[in-house]
Amino acid sequence: MPKDFVYRWGIFPLWLLLTTTVFFRTPIPIDETRYLSVAWEMWLRGDFLVPYLNGHTYSHKPPLLFWLFESGWAIFGINEWWPRLVGPLCALLNLLLTRRLALKLWPDRPQIALQAPWILLATLLWTLFASATMFDTLLTCCVLLGMLGLIEAIRGNSLKGWSFFGLAIGLGILTKGPVIFLHLLPTTLCVFIWAKPDYSFSKSWFGYLGLALLAGSAMALVWALPAAAAGGEAYANAILWHQTADRTVGTKIHARSFPWYLYFLPLLTFPWITWPRLWQSLRLTRIAEESALRFCLTWLIASLLLFSFLPSKQLHYLLPLLPAFALICARLLDQPQRQYGLFTELLPAILIGLIGLFLILLPQVPGLAKLNWVKQVEPYWGLSVTAIAVILAAFVIYARRLSVAALSSAVVVSIFIGFIFFFQYVGLQYNLRPAAMLLKQFNDNRIATAFAGDYQGQLHFLGRLTQPLETIEREQATEWAKTHPDGYLIFLEKTKPAHAYYIQPHREYWLFFKTAADALSSGPT
């Protein structure tokens, strides 16, 4: 089979393999279940302007992802499979846009465009989130569209390029708010670093940038202004101001120190960061003479520094930076054929084998053995990963070199197997459907029910609930039980209760239902 054919089309079966993992698990609480519940409530209300969660306006995210969910429901009817395919479809678009951007950056080096999607596909952070029902792969599409626009603009196609950029800004705001500016503006404003010698720019660059920003912002305001008017003053303040200020600079949510991302970079960029050939190729590349490579480095480094300065940090916030990493790796690996040492080519396979060994020994690892799901782990998971490493090593020994396609395939298959084993071991810890169906039964029979604590919509879509779930403070449980003697209280606690009407593990907590009488006599725990 021709090599180019494999690299052109091989990403599709690997993407499909990752996509099938959504059918081996239920939506993961609390993020996936919450976003499905928001879209469900919008659908129930017939309100496509203002997102709602449990009867209250939901200002944390704009509606584009929810609109994509609902567009599928309008065609296929209410179902769970369509919303869960939106994330993987966006991930596929990530791969195709990365290939397109590589062609624009290196039109005379087609191998870079063929290899870059493979590298992105098997970059650990991206691989783990490619099938997630979250905003990050959709936002990555917007970032890639904006970067394509910049390259078109710098090459003289101003109308097309800045139109792409403005569209990316508008869609990005509708996807995840003003964070799109943090992804696109650093590279745009640093044009003087990466443009020359291959490209030239003038002061009009910044004028066009201003117009594109205005156009993209106006596109988002077409939704935001009517939504602000419909959602009330508190919602208006949240989406027009707090979405910009509080959730970037002023937030304490997920607050972490400046170097926090740096601690995880080796893990997030695995396995490529462990391949000695990549580092050896770096010495052979003249970065100062190549605008395309400096463009990708500016995109990656400037955005990473900016996100490091922000207090709120989550690993998946970096997902839109990974195409830049993949493009850099693909360019560095696009070198004339030369002989490399066998150990150099075997090292990634050896490390994958060590990961397999770690998984075999997982139940004995101090600090992890106490986790409920780790106690269920059997050697088969680790043995499967070890077998993949052995096959990869055998391939390297036979071919005397490691290929991008072989390493990517090994990583993707390992992650696929990992998803299957992990969700088999965690059982009900990540499956709230039984609790959601019990709550639906109570609602259908008009039995009073309340959630004592912070409810994040975990049960609404899974149970197809049509009414808000009453929420109370933990301290109000006794009083509520007195006024609803035939009702049920739902708790989420770290400690397993001695008595409960229904109980199941929920991550590393316990979710349980108590009758009002039981809550009065024994308390929640």
State both tokens at 300: 């990656």
CATH number of the domain to which 463 belongs:
3.40.190
CA–centroid distance for 336 within its chain = 35
Of 99-103, 173-177, 360-364, 372-376, least confident by mean pLDDT is 372-376
pLDDT of 271 over the 90 cut: yes
- HSE-CB at 380 with a 13 A cutoff on CA atoms is 9
Say yes or no: 55 and 102 in one domain: yes
State residue 243's pLDDT score. Answer: 61
Q: Of 404, 428, 452, which closes a domain? A: 428
Q: State the pLDDT at residue 492.
A: 93
> Could you tell me the two tokens for 361?
């020994």
State the pairing for strand pair 449-452/56-57.
Answer: unpaired
Amino acid at 132: A
pLDDT exceeds 90 at position 39: yes
Cα–Cα distance between 114 and 111 in angstroms, integer?
5
The reply to whether 43 and 60 lie within a common domain is: yes
* Residue finishing a domain among 333, 364, 385: 333
Cα torsion 381, 385, 391, 394: sign: negative
pLDDT over 90 percentage in the chain: 78
Is 326 within a domain?
A: yes
Q: Please indicate, yes or no, whether residues 455 and 322 belong to a single structural domain of this protein.
A: no
Give the type of residue at 391. Answer: I
Amino acid occupying residue 86: V
| pLDDT > 70 in the chain, percent | 96
325 falls within a domain: yes
Q: pLDDT confidence of 2, banded at 50, 70, 90?
A: low
What pLDDT score does 441 carry? Answer: 96
Residue 509, H or E segment: strand 509-515
pLDDT digits (tens, 9 = 90+) for 44-56: 999 999 999 999 9
Burial of 204 (0-12, 13-18, 19+ CB in 10 A): exposed
pLDDT of residue 1: 54
> What total number of domains does the chain contain?
3
Phi, psi of 502 (to 5 degrees): -145, 140
Contact 374, 362 (CB under 8 A): yes
Classify the phi-psi angles of 126: left when phi > 0, otherwise alpha if psi is within -120 to 50, otherwise beta.
Answer: alpha
Position 197 pLDDT exceeds 80 = no
List the structure tokens of 223: 């939704």
pLDDT at residue 222, rounded to an integer? 96
- Domain co-membership, 112 together with 173: yes
Q: Which distant-in-sequence residues (6+ apart) come within 8 Å of 72 by Cβ?
A: 79, 82, 83, 85, 86
Q: What is the pLDDT of residue 454?
A: 92
User: Mean pLDDT across the stretch 175-187?
Assistant: 96
Q: Are residues 8 and 84 in the same domain?
A: yes
**For the chain, what is the mean pLDDT?**
92
Task: Tell which residue, 87, 185, 187, 188, has the closest CA to residue 138.
Answer: 87
| Lowest-confidence pick of 25-39, 111-125, 358-372 | 358-372
Q: What percentage of the chain's residues is helix, strand, coil (to nearest 5)?
A: 65, 5, 25
Same domain, 89 and 221: yes
Q: Is residue 100 part of a domain?
A: yes
| Same domain, yes or no: 245 and 373 | no
Q: Do 48 and 166 sit in the same domain of this protein?
A: yes
Of 5-19, 160-174, 238-252, least confident by mean pLDDT is 238-252
DSSP β-bridge partners for residue 513: 490, 502
**pLDDT for position 387:** 98
Where residue 189 falls among pLDDT bands split at 50, 70, 90? very high
Range of the domain at 146: 3-333
Give the separation between CA 83 and CA 30, rounded to whole angstroms: 16
Of 18-27, 82-91, 234-243, 449-458, the range with the lowest mean pLDDT is 234-243
> Would you state the pLDDT for residue 276?
94
So what's the pLDDT on residue 103? 98
400 pLDDT higher than 80: yes
Residues 13 and 126 in one domain: yes
Residue 177, pLDDT score: 93
Please, are residues 375 and 363 in contact by the beta-carbon 8 Å criterion? Answer: yes
Q: How far is CA 329 from CA 90, 112, 113, 324, 424, in A?
A: 22, 9, 11, 9, 34
Q: Is the dihedral of CA 436, 438, 441, 445 positive or negative?
A: negative
- Residue 280, judged by CB atoms within 10 A of its CB (0-12, 13-18, 19+), counts as middle
Of 133, 101, 132, 129, nearest to 117 by C-alpha is 101
Q: What does the pLDDT average to over 165-190?
A: 97
Closest by CA to 417, choosing from 394, 396, 386, 395, is: 386
388 found inside a domain: yes
Tokens of 256: 């972490």
- Check pLDDT > 70 for residue 250: no
| Residue 248 banded pLDDT, cuts 50, 70, 90 | low
Ramachandran assignment for 312, one of left (phi > 0), alpha (psi -120 to 50 degrees), beta (any other): beta
468 upstream amide cis, omega within 30 of 0 = no
Does the structure show a pLDDT above 70 at 247? no
Compute the distance between CA of residue 224 and CA of residue 227 in angstroms, rounded to an integer: 5
Sheet containing 470-472: give its strands across. Answer: 470-472, 449-452, 488-493, 509-515, 502-506
**Alpha-carbon gap, residue 478 to 494, rounded angstroms:** 19
Q: What is the pTM of this model?
A: 0.94
* Residue 242, pLDDT above cutoff 80: no
Whether residues 68 and 12 share a domain: the answer is yes
Is residue 39, in this structure, part of any structural domain at all? Answer: yes
The dihedrals phi and psi of 48, each to the nearest 5 degrees, come to -105, 10
Q: How far apart are CA 269 and CA 279, in angstroms?
A: 14
The residues, ordered by sequence, that sit 6+ positions from 467 with a Cβ below 8 Å of its Cβ are: 443
For residues 404 and 311, state if they share a domain: no
* 406 and 367 part of one domain: yes
Residue 340 lies in a domain: no
Structure tokens at 437: 């169906």
Structural domain ending residue among the three candidates 333, 365, 399: 333
Residue 41 binned pLDDT confidence (cut-offs 50, 70, 90)? very high
**Range name among 12-16, 232-236, 285-289, 357-361 with the lowest pLDDT average:** 285-289
Look at residue 97 and tell me if it is in a domain. Answer: yes
Q: How many CA atoms lie less than 13 Å away from 480 in the CB half-sphere?
A: 25
- Residue 427: per-residue pLDDT: 83
Q: Is the pLDDT of residue 105 over 60?
A: yes
150 within a domain of the structure (yes/no): yes
Pick from 83-97, 308-322, 416-430 the range whose average pLDDT is largest: 83-97
Is the pLDDT reported for residue 286 higher than 90?
no
Average of per-residue pLDDT across 444-460? 94
